[in-house]
Structure 1
Amino acid sequence: LSGKLAPELLGAIAVAAYSYMALVPLIQPPIMKALTSETERKIRMVQLRTVSKREKILFPVVLLMLVALLLPDAAPLLGMFCFGNLMRESGVVER
């Protein structure tokens, strides 16, 4: 967006965005401690049901089709996310 509206600010915006992303691990913990109680932080969530292998494989495929229909400009970015998820769930890669 900044590349079209203010191309001269693209470098500064990129540096600010990457700096923020790098600082999230330092910024987030104190904020989370301030906004939650100790008992809330100790809660352990349980899985409601087991998700089948079929569901894990179909989810990225269906998601990509919906995004490609509704938001075609975002399809390449989300496509790579879905592709990685699909590779992991199908057993091609371990991570």
Structure 2
Amino acid sequence: MPRDQDVPVALRFDGTGAYRVLMFVNGWQMGQFTADLGPQREFVLPSGVLRPDGKNTLALAVIALEDSTLGQVSLVPLANHRVR
């Protein structure tokens, strides 16, 4: 991300099926997603957990409840704010 901008990002799940996902960013559990339950498909990754000047580690623990596969997972920008 540009150094002079604040760009909050989210993890987005697209797809259907019967699976659950536990999300971890840099060792912190950020949430859980159940594909066939609830409307939430985007999970905000807080800036205090993300390292702006280094590597970040995203780990997903996927638990298949039936014969299904994980849909597309992407990082999406939610906004773009210029820092003065």
Shorter-chain TM-score bucket reads: under 0.3
Larger radius of gyration: 1
TM-score (structure 1 length as normaliser): 0.19
Higher relative contact order (CA 8 A, sep 6+): 2
Answer 1 or 2: which has greater strand percent: 2
Answer 1 or 2: which has greater helix percent: 1
